Amino acid sequence: TQGKVITCKAAVAWEAGKPVSIEEITVDPPQAGEVRIKVLYNALCHTDLFTLSGDDPEGDFPVILGHEGGGVVESVGEGVTDVKVGDHVVPLYTAECRECKFCKSGKTNLCSAVRATQGKGVMPDGTKRFKCKGKELLHFMGCSTFSQYTVVSKYSVVAITDKAPLDKACLLGCGLTTGYGAATKTANVQEGDNTAIFGLGAVGLAVVQGCKVRKAKQIIAIDTNDRKEEWARSMGATDFINPTKLPEGKTIVDVLVEKTDGGCDHTFDCTGNVNVMRQALEACHKGWGVSTIIGVAAAGKEIQTRPFQLVTGRKWQGSAFGGVKGRTELPGLVDDYLAGKLTVDDYVTHRTSLDEISKGFDYMHGGDCIRCVVDM
Ligand code: NAD
Ligand code: AHE
Ligand code: ZN
pLDDT in tens, 128-166: 999 999 999 999 999 999 999 999 999 999 999 999 999
Of 357, 296, 368, 366, the C-alpha closest to 44 is 357
Ligand 1 nearest-atom number relative to CA 319: 41
* pTM, 2 dp: 0.98
269 lines ligand 2 (CB under 6 A): no
pLDDT confidence of residue 1: 81
Report, as an integer, the average pLDDT of 237-243: 98
Amino acid (one-letter) located at 316: W
203 lines ligand 2 (CB under 6 A): no
pLDDT confidence of residue 14: 98
Ligand 1 pocket mutation pick from 47, 185, 279 by most atoms within 8 angstroms of CB = 47
Of 151, 154, 125, the C-alpha closest to 140 is 151
ipTM of the complex, rounded to two decimals: 0.99
Query: Is the separation of the CB atoms in 364 and 46 below 8 Å?
Result: yes
The helix or strand, by DSSP H or E, that contains position 7, with its residue range, turns out to be strand 6-12
Q: Is the pLDDT of residue 257 over 90?
A: yes
91 lines ligand 1 (CB under 6 A): no
Amino acid (one-letter) located at 43: A
Amino acid (one-letter) located at 3: G
Q: How many residues belong to the chain? A: 376
pLDDT confidence of residue 2: 85
DSSP string, 88-100: EEEE-SS---SSS
Ligand 2 nearest-atom number relative to CA 110: 18
User: What is the Å distance from ligand 2's center to 39 Cα?
Assistant: 22
User: What is the Å distance from ligand 3's center to 5 Cα?
Assistant: 29
Determine the 3-state secondary structure of 262 from DSSP. coil
pLDDT tens-digit series, residues 157-170: 999 999 999 999 99
CA distance 134 to 295: 37
Q: Is the pLDDT of residue 305 over 90?
A: yes
CA distance 197 to 54: 27
57 lines ligand 2 (CB under 6 A): yes
Query: Is the separation of the CB atoms in 321 and 295 below 8 Å?
Result: no
